[in-house]
Structure 1
Amino acid sequence: MNEPVAYATSIAKPGVSRGLISITVMLTTIMVILDMTIVNVALPDMMGALGATSDQITWVLTSYIVAEAIMILLTGFLVTLFGRKRLMLVSVAGFIIASALCGQADNLAEMIVFRLMQGICGASVIPLSQSVMVDVFPKEERGKAMAFWGIGIMLGPILGPTLGGYITEHLGWRWVFYINLPVGILNLLMVWTLLQAEAGRKVRADWLGALFMAVGIGSLQLMLDQGNQKNWFDSGLIQILAAISIMTLTYFVIRSWQRPDSIVKLDLLKDRNLATSCFMMFVFGLGMFGTIALQPIMLENLLNYNAQTTGLVMAPRGLASMLGMFLVSRLINRVDLRLIIFTGFVLSATGTWMLTQKSLQAAEVDFIWNGVVQGLGLGMIFVPLSTLAYETLQAAQTSQAAGIYNLSRTIGSSVGISVATAILSHADKMSQSGLSAHITASNPAVTQWLATQHLTLNSPQAISTLASALQQQALMVAFNDTFWVVMLSFVALAPLLLLIRRPSPH
């Protein structure tokens, strides 16, 4: 990976090694990906400083997610207009400025505006970095490039909460944003030094279609983010957002499918590999982000782990993902990538199945092992899937394709978290109802259990103790049921591998 780029490409300066290009784009990717999750643990501290309620403070996350989802699809158009180096410089510089402003925010309104700026500026970085890696490396080395790039994508969501908790505890919540400044400035210097400008060109744009796209994706993301808080379709707001997203996105797709001036080249989805990979990455969001979102809640709320212990227990999943990517980089030109992905599905499903077997008596090492198995599988899925997505596309199409592919990941993560949380809430109610039917005075098991707590049916604390135990056991059952659904999502994806075309290994 350290040899100079020797074949025709206009993005790397002559004599610059592929290794340096890889480090440059990976740093930008890690910075942006981390910022999606590092803020989560700082929200309680931000509430007091910004004068926000628990419901209001979630807009700090929502504003970023909505802006990123809307802008990510515009990456291909902006690349054509400005070129990749200029767009990368503007994106990183804007992200640095927005981060500094977020750290200075004095109220919730300011924070939301500055987070919108962050999302707008950071959105293009991920598809841009992937596009650069795809173009700089020849096809036979593209798997290694995707493995290196995937480290940032996979580690960001896992390390973000742990790093955010440490920074918030020792430096204060404002440093969650300030930490982007030195990293961002280094990124800016590397992009300026190592990449060379490409000629941009003016292009016609269907701005009406772009407006419908922005409204549709923004409404969809708002619906997914606020759905659980608003009790989904019992809320008029959620119903309105659903109706708006369906109508506007349907019109956008019909209008833009083959228009030459469309902002997003949706006709790229005629490519079977890209379309299948996008769908698989969308569903992959349920497996990856559903687990990452729910497991910390289970560890902290049910097993009383503190934030640091939770982070340490979940960290091996990230390390195992790195190992999976390393294995893929060694096998990618020797083994059919579809076989590697299938193996990843098996490992991910197995690791998730191990989560379904947990109880309130589970030890820390039990969670570490299931994280290792699942993480190894996730790493073996992500890299080859990202490689196959561009396998049958022309080089000039990668920026547009990267925007579509990464939107699938972004929307998939939101859907995954929302679906997993909704299933957990429903399963919790069902479990409480089912278990409470067995808690009666005539059930000898109830009397025996109370005796172990040094209580009887007539003790004043008996009802509250039983209610607390019921809630804990019901929630544990609900987590197990939810992880069953996550496991099935990996199983259901496996047959889709038959739709992907793959040339013979080199």
Structure 2
Amino acid sequence: MANNVTRAAVTITIITSSLMVLIDMTVANVALPDMMGALGATSEQITWVLTSFAMAEAICIPLAAFLTRRLGERHLLLYSILGFILFSALCGQAGSLMEMIVFRILQGLFAAPVIPLSQSILIQVYPKEEQGKAMAIFAIGVMVGPVLGPAIGGVLTEHLNWRWVFYINLPVGALCVLLILRNIRISNQGEAPMDWLLITTMALGIGLLQMVLSQGNEKNWFSSNLILFSSITSVVMIAAFIIRSCKTRGDIAPAWMLMNRNLGISCLLVSLFAVGTFGVLQLQPMLFQQLYNYPVQTAGFMMAPRGIASAIVLMMAAPLMDKVDTRWMVLLGLALNAVGVWHMSQYPLEVDAFWLILPSVIQGAGMGLVFAPLSKLAFVTLPADCVPGGTAMFNLCRTIGSSIGIAIINTYFSYVQQEEWHSLGGSLTADNPILQNYAKWSGMEVTSTVFLEKMAAMLHQQSTMLAFVYCFTVMVAIYIVLIALIPLFKRKVS
């Protein structure tokens, strides 16, 4: 009974700390317009508030195993949360864009170890036969946090101000510190050699990749010399980092662990799954606000049922995680994701809110059946001393996959919208009899300013809707491809 109580206390500590960090990934998204005026930034510059955090987090996640070996789990988690609280407070009081970017980078550096470290601690606390349940509990935070972020951010921004998006971390973080001091006792501290060549190539490669993915669409990709140079440098540095990691087989950014079959396939699958999932999470708020004219707070609340569905399904699936073949759970989850997003690709221009939310609930249920079983598949064949490194690489792939998903969707959305605008607009000529009849039915002249403005608005609306439809269709294709990868896992999963 004492062991169960201890596990419950550790689990509460881990979930609280993880949720705080994961919510912070998306909570600032809806506050960007308010930040622009306060920080004197343009719409292009303000995106660095998100980019800087993501870059810092991606660079530091692979160092989680090395830092764990140097500091031990308890100290690393404590220092990470304390640093996160400090720089959250400084982000809240930032008076300029440069201050905000610097503080967000430092906030991201301290946030990075929390997720892989939390996952590693849970795996160590729970016995082998209950690790599926542990991963299901952990997945609640991973899946629900980013989904709830926009809703929480919308409420804080609308009823207080954008600075509370960061200040809210202070009381929550203080609670996390108290829980860590009381409940976390694991500390596998030891010697870990420093490999500066590996750290440099890893940091440059991953950091530049994140910058390219975040800024590429705004700078028209490879027509920008900065993006072209950064892309080439990133590829060279990442290749050097992987070669060095495989040669040294150390704790710093252990890419060599991806040679483990289950971990390698899981990292590939979770990165592609993140492409689809975060692509949808990027599109839906735009769809609700731009085409269906829902206010920011309402759009945020309409995203919440997805997270609730994920949590409910995870709680229902947790007891089964250690009793059934988890590959079937992943397959069912991916199928539900495909069905939910396929329904999104069928959205008309006029639709009731219920039918906007229902596909999100279906997808959310699917999300709940993917991440936790996939985590179990990833680590079940790893030796115990490799778990911290495996969780670091797994979460790095998830982070990079989410950035790739957002970048791909933004680029493809802009391309389709422009192409469809030209395609549909090509037939809108004054001598088109259908257009003439429509103008006559509307009681206006084809050449009148009011009619032309009306047609321009309709053209923009239709081309934008088609862009959403095509993007959702791409997501469905991604989920179908992922289903085909499931047989590659080893059969033994427990």
Q: TM-score range by the shorter chain?
A: over 0.9
Q: Match for 1:391: what amino acid?
A: V
Q: Match for 1:372: what amino acid?
A: V
- Report the equivalent of 1:341: 330
Tell me whether 1:144 sits opposite 2:133 in the alignment.
Answer: yes
Q: How many Å separate the matches in 2 of 1:73 and 1:262?
A: 9
Query: Which of residues 445, 454, 464 is equivalent to 2:453?
Result: 464
Of stretches 361-370 and 44-53 in structure 1, the one that deviates more from structure 2 is: 44-53
Of stretches 455-464 and 110-119 in structure 1, the one that deviates more from structure 2 is: 455-464
Tell me whether 1:430 sits opposite 2:412 in the alignment.
Answer: no
Tell me whether 1:170 sits opposite 2:159 in the alignment.
Answer: yes
Alpha-carbon offset, residue 443 of structure 1: 3.9
**8 Å Cα contact 2:303/2:360 also seen in 1:** yes
**8 Å Cα contact 2:430/2:447 also seen in 1:** no
Change beyond 3 A, Cα 1:199–1:154: closer
SS of equivalent to 1:372 = helix
- 1:94-113 CA deviation, whole Å, 9 max, x = no partner? 11111111112111221111
- Report the equivalent of 2:318: 329
- Report the equivalent of 1:10: none
Matches within 5 A, 1:123-142: 123-142=112-131
SS of equivalent to 2:147 = helix
Q: How many Å separate the matches in 2 of 1:312 and 1:450?
A: 39
Alpha-carbon offset, residue 197 of structure 1: 5.1
Q: Match for 2:360: what amino acid?
A: G
Alpha-carbon offset, residue 199 of structure 1: 5.0
Matches within 5 A, 1:104-503: 104-196=93-185, 198-261=187-250, 263-451=252-440, 453-503=442-492
Q: How many Å separate the matches in 1 of 2:101 and 2:94?
A: 9
Alpha-carbon offset, residue 456 of structure 1: 3.3
- 1:143-182 CA deviation, whole Å, 9 max, x = no partner? 2111111111111111111111110111111111110011
Change beyond 3 A, Cα 1:199–1:319: closer
SS of equivalent to 2:351 = coil
Aligned length: 494
**8 Å Cα contact 1:205/1:261 also seen in 2:** no
**8 Å Cα contact 1:52/1:108 also seen in 2:** yes
Q: Match for 1:55: what amino acid?
A: E
- 1:432-465 CA deviation, whole Å, 9 max, x = no partner? 1221233234544323443454433243312221
Change beyond 3 A, Cα 1:455–1:334: farther
- Report the equivalent of 1:12: none
Q: Match for 1:324: what amino acid?
A: V
Q: How many Å separate the matches in 1 of 2:294 and 2:87?
A: 34
**8 Å Cα contact 1:328/1:383 also seen in 2:** no
Change beyond 3 A, Cα 1:503–1:366: same
- Report the equivalent of 1:37: 26
- Report the equivalent of 2:2: 4
**8 Å Cα contact 1:347/1:376 also seen in 2:** yes
After the TM superposition, which parts of structure 1 deviate over 6 Å for at least 4 consecutive aligned residues? none
Q: Match for 1:334: what amino acid?
A: K
Alpha-carbon offset, residue 361 of structure 1: 1.1
Alpha-carbon offset, residue 327 of structure 1: 2.9
- 1:350-389 CA deviation, whole Å, 9 max, x = no partner? 1110011111112211111111111111111111011111
Matches within 5 A, 1:72-83: 72-83=61-72
**8 Å Cα contact 1:230/1:238 also seen in 2:** yes
Q: Match for 1:163: what amino acid?
A: I
Change beyond 3 A, Cα 1:30–1:68: same
Q: How many Å separate the matches in 1 of 2:347 and 2:91?
A: 40
Unaligned runs of 5+ residues in structure 2 are none
**8 Å Cα contact 1:209/1:255 also seen in 2:** yes
Alpha-carbon offset, residue 262 of structure 1: 5.8
Q: Match for 1:495: what amino acid?
A: A
Change beyond 3 A, Cα 1:453–1:324: farther
Q: Match for 2:31: what amino acid?
A: A
TM-score scaled to structure 2, two decimals? Answer: 0.97
Q: Match for 1:95: what amino acid?
A: F
Q: How many Å separate the matches in 1 of 2:89 and 2:132?
A: 36
Q: Match for 2:451: what amino acid?
A: A
**8 Å Cα contact 1:207/1:263 also seen in 2:** no
Q: Match for 2:456: what amino acid?
A: A
Q: How many Å separate the matches in 2 of 1:94 and 1:452?
A: 65
Q: Percent identity over the alignment? A: 44
- Report the equivalent of 1:21: 10
Q: How many Å separate the matches in 1 of 2:443 and 2:363?
A: 41
Alpha-carbon offset, residue 34 of structure 1: 0.8
Q: How many Å separate the matches in 1 of 2:297 and 2:440?
A: 35
Q: How many Å separate the matches in 1 of 2:263 and 2:414?
A: 34
Q: How many Å separate the matches in 2 of 1:305 and 1:34?
A: 22
Alpha-carbon offset, residue 398 of structure 1: 1.0
TM-score scaled to structure 1, two decimals? Answer: 0.95
The alignment yields a C-alpha RMSD, in angstroms, of: 1.5
Q: Match for 1:182: what amino acid?
A: P
